[in-house]
Amino acid sequence: MFPVIDLGPLALQAAGLLLILSIWLGLLLTGKFATHLGTNGDVIENGILYGFLSGILAARIGFLLTHPSIFMENPLSIVSLTPSMLDVNFGILAGVLVVLITYQRKHLPLWPTLDTLSPLFILAYGGFQLANLADGNAYGLPAELPWSVYLWNANRHPVQIYALILTVGLLIWWLGKTRLTKQNGFYHSGILFSVTVAGLAVITLFTQAFAAEKHLLLGVDQIQLLALVLLAGNLFVIYKLGIEKPKKVMVCISMGSNLEPLDNLYNGSQSIAAQFKILNRSGIYQTKDLREGHQDRHYLNRVLQIETALSYPDLITKLKEIEQAHGREPGNKEIVPLDLDALTYGKQVFCNQGRQIPEPGILENGYMLLPLAETRPEFRHPATGESIAELIAKLPPDEKDIRKIEEVKDGTEG
């Protein structure tokens, strides 16, 4: 137990410091992860910060509201800098609410955002255990073991250390699965988050058995019960998101060609129609090939909206087969009879083995974004929640300079 850290004249509360440090580290990882996933790191981080500050403010105000006489006596107590007069529960409630409202207003997508926050959950949990260790809270049952710690006049299970070791293990798993934040590790948004929370639930369920203070509800420890319910909930979510036979997924495919493009686009559409159900198609857009020595070549592009039950890896394989059936030579970037890119895969957000969904090119290429806007004007970016209008506004100016050469009538001909 080490409640205070002495730094010369300053005595710092170790628990608070450790918790803040852990959350800071968690936010660092979250930020890095957001960059690689393509989710809106700034909004996510800011949301947490606003929530934290609002929480502290609400905790103070909440306390004074329940004890108005204290406020009447000394109105300045509202800005008192001492870590006292705080209604912690109210503060947490308000903080979480502020985070939710901030995310909601920015239309952040639920599962990709939670995936992005998963390292913060692990680190905050670890920080909480460290804080307990520092203050001697959540201490263990008396036990004479070679690794017992002497605390509160007895040798005890070092419960907080059990939890810390397991949490570090979970963090190492997380870092390995995401290859140090470079990828999601799963092909469905939300699974990384659910597995993380399930892991924390298991750690709690297991270590809480060795805690000295237990509050029973229906004969079982309340905290263990909550952990078990959380575990069950997440196992169910994992099943729903990733295991259950997928319903049809809506995929937007960008089709392009710079060799006899009109023919190839037409034939390409036919091949796609033979394998998948086509929901909608855009008109045909022309872009110049701006590469050195190729200015005489034009690309024609369009976007097809299809439905499929294939998994993402299987879908990519199928698209490659179709490309090669139309004469595409792998490695030949000059002459492209047919190019098929999956821009989106349902609402999923992931980045595995070098492939990122949604396709990052949507944010940079007019030939991807503009036809997409035509087929799906109500589109919101699965990773950031941005609308079509917001995405187009962010395009580099010369990317908008694209000619549409064929209108599409009722979305079925072109």
Partner 1 sequence: MQKKRYIPIASLILLLGLVWMLLTPITFPGVQAGSSQAAHQGFHAPDFTLLTPEGQAVTLSDFTGKPVLVFLWASWCTVCKATLPGLEPVYQEYAPQGFEILAVNMTTQDTAASAISYFQTQGYSFPMLLDPDGEVAQQYQMHALPTSVLIGPDGVVQKVVIGAGMNGGELRAWLDEVLTNGQGE
The residue ranges that bind partner 1 (CB under 8 A) are 1-4, 6, 11, 13, 63, 67, 69-70, 73-74, 77, 80, 82-85, 136-137, 139, 141-142, 152-154, 202, 205-206, 208-214, 216, 219-221, 224-225, 227-228, 231-232, 235, 238-239, 242-245
CA nearest 87: which of 72, 71, 76? 71
Nearer to partner 1, 230 or 278 (CB): 230
CA angle 44, 124, 145 (to 5 degrees): 165
For partner 1, the closer CB: 236 or 266: 236
Nearer to partner 1, 84 or 270 (CB): 84
- Give min distance, CB of 236 to partner 1, in A: 8
The nearer residue to partner 1, 136 or 346, going by C-beta atoms, is: 136
Residues 344/252, Cβ–Cβ less than 8 Å: yes
Closest C-alpha to 124, from 198, 189, 197, 60: 197
DSSP 228-290: HHHHHHHHHHHIIIIISPP--EEEEEEEEESSSHHHHHHHHHHHHHHHSEEEEE--EEEEE--
Please identify, using beta-carbon distances, which residue of 52 and 210 lies nearer to partner 1.
Answer: 210
Structural contact between residues 40 and 385, judged by C-beta atoms closer than 8 angstroms? yes
The nearer residue to partner 1, 216 or 325, going by C-beta atoms, is: 216
The enclosing H or E element of 19 equals helix 14-37
Q: Which is nearer to partner 1, 131 or 306 (CB)?
A: 131
Find tokens 């659910």 and name the residue. Answer: 194
In the complex with partner 1, the residue whose CB is nearer, 45 or 221, is: 221
In whole angstroms, the minimum distance from the beta carbon of 352 to partner 1 comes to 16
DSSP assignment of 320-367 equals: HHHHHHTTPPTT--S--S-EEEEEEETT--EEETTEEES-GGGGT-HH
User: How far apart are the C-alpha atoms of 358 and 402, rounded to whole Å?
Assistant: 22
Q: How far is the CB of 295 from partner 1 (least distance, A)?
A: 50
Would you say 11 or 49 has its CB closer to partner 1? 11
Min dist. Cβ of residue 208 to partner 1 (A): 8
Nearest approach, Cβ of 229 to partner 1 (angstroms)? 10
Q: In whole angstroms, what is the distance from residue 80 CA to residue 91 CA?
A: 16
- Least distance between partner 1 and beta carbon 5 (Å): 9
Nearest approach, Cβ of residue 80 and partner 1 (Å): 7
Nearest distance in Å: CB 152, partner 1: 4
Q: Judged by CB, which is closer to partner 1: 136, or 361?
A: 136
Residue partners of 72: CB distance under 8 A and separation at least 6:
none
Relative to beta strand 216-217, strand 403-406 is unpaired
How far is residue 303's CA from residue 317's CA, in Å, rounded to a whole number? 19
Q: At its nearest, how many Å lie between partner 1 and the CB of residue 212?
A: 5
Residue whose entry in the numeric block shows the structure tokens 């207003």? 105
CB of 211 to partner 1, least distance (A): 7
Instruction: Please list, residue by residue across 86-125, b when 16 or more beta carbons sit within 10 angstroms of its beta carbon and e when fewer do.
Output: bbeebbeebbeebbeebbeebebbebbbbbbbbbbbbbbb
